[in-house]
Structure 1
Amino acid sequence: MPPASINNYTLPLFDYPLWWVTCSWDYLLYTGDRDYAARYYPQLLKVLDTWYPSVTDDAGLLNKGLNGTAGYGDYAFLGRTGRVTYYNANYVQALGDAARIAVHLGHAGDAQRWQERAKKVAQAINTHLWDESAGAYLDSATGAVRHAQDGNAIAITSGVADSERAAAALAHLDKTTKRRYGNAFMDNDTLFGGASQRVYAFTSYPELVARFETGLADSAIDQIKRTYGWMDSHDPGITQWEGIGPDGSLYEDAYTSMAHGWSTGVLPALTHQLLGAKPTSPGYATWEVRPHPGSVNWAQGELPTPKGPLGVEWVRKGATFTLTVRAPRGTLGAVALPTNGHRVTVYSGGRTLWKNGRATTSAVRPEAGYVTVSVLDQGTHRFTVVRES
């Protein structure tokens, strides 16, 4: 796929077909547009069962350079070759998303094949690309040793990294990439000069998601404040920059895009992770609200769905956390109420749903750090969580 819709622009990108797969699943998830998924399913098969296998090596990893791809670009035209963690973690993500599309369209065999391949690629990443000495994934198995934000973050969000590796990788990024204007996308300058000072909001997005979903909400919020606070407080203000360079400069001087679509990942991160609301099946037929509040005291938002708005608001005052959901007609959902490891009592509509570590109904169950209430249909649902002394 070319990087731009320009006639005769022939430079293909090694990673963009994988992003097309993931974006196709996202589009289906948000809209329920089954016709789109069915129409482009043949292209999905070509991407995952023809092209990417043609650039897979004997370890089961994508290897940039095989099949004439050494000169291919990627999202930032980076000079990376060989076994690159980012490409392979992206591959695991895309295979999982494609399997979900296949299940929705009734292609169970394709889904199983892609799920099995995703597991094998994930195992190969952990075998060949984990750097035990650094506690992080290598950027590439070829050339100088470095560790990248993109590969480490997506290894976490795609499920490649277990909890121990995820914690180590995020700690490494904290130690080596933290800047006052965001987190840099490389931990040293072996790829090019100044790489360790350059911030991409595009690759910061999966790191934000990884931090929220591994229990590091406050570090995600801090990163949002540094990255987007810098953009907001510098000319022209409010807009999302394509990239930030050393000392917070425009990374490509006057050629830097100052209103770039790929830098808006903070919006889904605030919606899906901080507020906690997201669809769990196409067209919001089912949904979930799972807040990751950290030290934030309140949040509210409304998600447009094909069936009407899904409204969510929560507030924390002292030992009490209150969450309200307004669900559209024809949907079913669940809420995960944060406990932060404390013993809590959960109330809703004058009823006690959870007390003394036990549920009063089969629709309520405990999870790590949450009490989940399921089978919620249309209408307003209000829950109060009180920390027990």
Structure 2
Amino acid sequence: MWTAELPVQMLASVWSFWTHYLYTGDTDAVTVAYPAVKRYLNLWTLDGDGLVDHRAGDWDWEDWGSDIDARVLDNCWYYLALDTAAKLADLSGNSADVAAWKARRDSIGANFDRVLWNGSRNEYRSPGYTKDTDDRANALAVVAGLAPASRHRAVTEVLRTHLNASPYMEFYVLEALYLMGAAGVAEERMRNRFAAQVADPACHTLWELWTKADGTDNHAWNGGPLYALSAYTAGVRPTEPGWTWYEVVPQTGTLTRINMVTPTDKGDIRFGIVRDGTRATLTLTSPNGTTARVGVPVYGGSQPVIKANGTTVFTGGSSTGGVSGLSPAGKDASYVYFTVHPGTWTFTATGTGRLDDLGLGRPVTGNNSLERLGHVHHRPHRHRPAEPRRTRADVRIQDGHRPPRAPGGDQARHARVRRDDQVPPPARRTHRPHLRDDRHQQLHAGERRLGQDPGARRHHHERGRLQGLHEHRLLLGRRR
């Protein structure tokens, strides 16, 4: 039996109790843990800045690899655990404890940005930390809700250009990107960082580390992208315990087709979306005992018209008409929202925008704009991996090497991207003929496979198309 204390994973476990409750509605399973949660969180102390003191425990581990800004990570994890403790206290009938948990949580919330935001570098970086920018720490600040919206653009740039997280923490990087609306950048990281794993002909599972030989070749913690594709790309996730209320707010990025099934204790939720030019079609089967908030994406269209089951319910910038079981629920710059009762729903939006630009103010125009738009510069390291065989990988950079991987030690962990105006079009056209132009991409939970469409056309630059990212089993198809 494992009896040693692994502090930040203990905090992550506390946070996960509420996630379990949200997805299952099982009160007993989480309230029984509250006394132990209370004892453990009280072992941690706050420092003179109102932030949490580092706790080494028996194994002082934050993630595999290096360039780890522990103080930022500690405060994010403790903040999430304190927020969960307050909820568990209330749920378990220990309401007298709630105020103390919130006070400690709010102390971190009030001081986090003041102490840990580095204005000169435009990133989260604790005082005294001198290594490469920690993408994990910046991402977790977003996931925890400690990074205000005014920081999101800067943090997105950090996550575009720094690749230090192991597969374990990469999940939180992807989640942060989706929470900031940067679906295209999340796709870039998935395609770059997981290319070697999904292309491996000898292994149909995901590895513990970026280099297969350095860890196990079937590790559960590497499943983060699968959740991200379901909860954020498709956008299906619960908002009330046990899926009594849930939302469907897809961030399709560059994908044009999504189909997925989410099993719940209320029954299967089936969702699909197809984008075709200025038209988007969403289908939803919602089980009994649930209420869904559906966000119909308009992709920047100025005058979208939306129909629900054939009846116009939004036109001229406002809701109109009436459909039994459906009610308008507002709009913002990206979506028109509706609340729907159980049943089968088809939403058709016409007059939508053609480009889902969710990056940093520039289009995501193909399979991998991180590669297509510029060179990737490697920091020097002592042991450069050998060039991969060119017969397999669909994801490459200009010099033929895979993007930098970070299993630990001294391998390269930093990539810098040049902007459109810094990369002359002739250079892109002349020097990278092997890059693909993947305009038609699909997410299929049923087939759950990342591969190349056998029917794809070949251009003179050997351009193909991807069949898509799949939710449970990822396998990158061979180049023909």
Q: Aligning the two structures, in what range does the TM-score lie when normalised by the shorter sequence? A: 0.7 to 0.9
5+ residue gaps, structure 2: 354-480
Residue matched to 1:191: none
Shift of 1:300: 1.2
Deviation at 1:305, TM superposition (A): 0.8
Secondary structure of 2:281's match? Answer: strand
Structure 2 Cα separation of the partners of residues 135 and 13 of structure 1: 31
CA distance change for structure 1 residues 329 and 106 in 2, over 3 Å: closer, same or farther? farther
Tell me, in whole angstroms, the C-alpha distance in 1 between the residues paired with 2:328 and 2:91.
25
**How much does 1:289 deviate?**
0.5
SS at match of 1:60: coil
Larger radius of gyration: 2
Identify the match of residue 62 of structure 1 among 35, 52, 56: 52
**1:241 aligns to what?**
207
| Offset from partner CA, 1:340-369 (integer Å, 9 cap, x none) | 232312110232222111123763311241
**Match for residue 85 of structure 2?**
98
The aligned amino acid for 2:53 is N
1:85 is matched with which residue: 69, 72, 96? 72
- For the structure 1 residues 158 and 309, does the alpha-carbon distance in structure 2 shift closer, same or farther, using more than 3 Å as the test? same
Alignment partner of 1:17 out of 4, 10, 15 = 10
User: 2:93 & 2:52 partners in 1: Cα distance?
Assistant: 28
Higher strand share goes to which structure?
1
Distance 2:205 2:278 in 1: 37
Displacement of 1:117 after TM fit? Answer: 3.4
Q: 1:368 and 1:104, CA in 2 relative to 1: closer, same or farther beyond 3 A? A: farther
TM-score (norm 1): 0.82
The equivalent of 1:148 in structure 2 is 134
Identity %: 26
The aligned runs of 1:1-389 (5 Å cut-off) are 5-6=1-2, 10=4, 12-48=5-41, 50-52=42-44, 55-64=45-54, 69=56, 72-76=59-63, 84-105=71-92, 108=95, 110-111=97-98, 113-138=100-125, 140-175=126-161, 177=162, 183-185=163-165, 200-234=166-200, 236-244=202-210, 249-250=211-212, 253=213, 255-343=214-302, 344-360=304-320, 363-374=328-339, 376-387=340-351
Q: What's the counterpart of residue 196 of structure 1?
A: none
Higher relative contact order (CA 8 A, sep 6+): 2
Check 1:80–1:94 CA distance in 2 against 1; reply closer, same or farther (3 A cut).
farther
The superposition leaves residues 229-286 of structure 1 with CA deviations (integer Å, 9 ceiling, x where unpaired) of: 2211135333211112xxxx44xx4x51111111110111000000110111111111
SS in 2 for 1:264: helix
Aligned to 1:194: none
Taking the aligned partners of 2:68 and 2:338, their CA distance within structure 1 comes to 47
Q: Which amino acid aligns with 2:259?
A: Q
Change (3 A) 1:127 1:146: farther
C-alpha separation between the residues in 1 aligned to 2:85 and 2:247? Answer: 21
Give the conservation status (yes or no) of the 8 Å contact 1:89–1:122. no
Distance 1:221 1:80 in 2: 23
- Give the conservation status (yes or no) of the 8 Å contact 2:62–2:68: no
The two structures, once aligned, show a CA RMSD in angstroms of: 2.5
CA distance, structure 2, for counterparts of residue 77 and residue 71 of structure 1 = 16
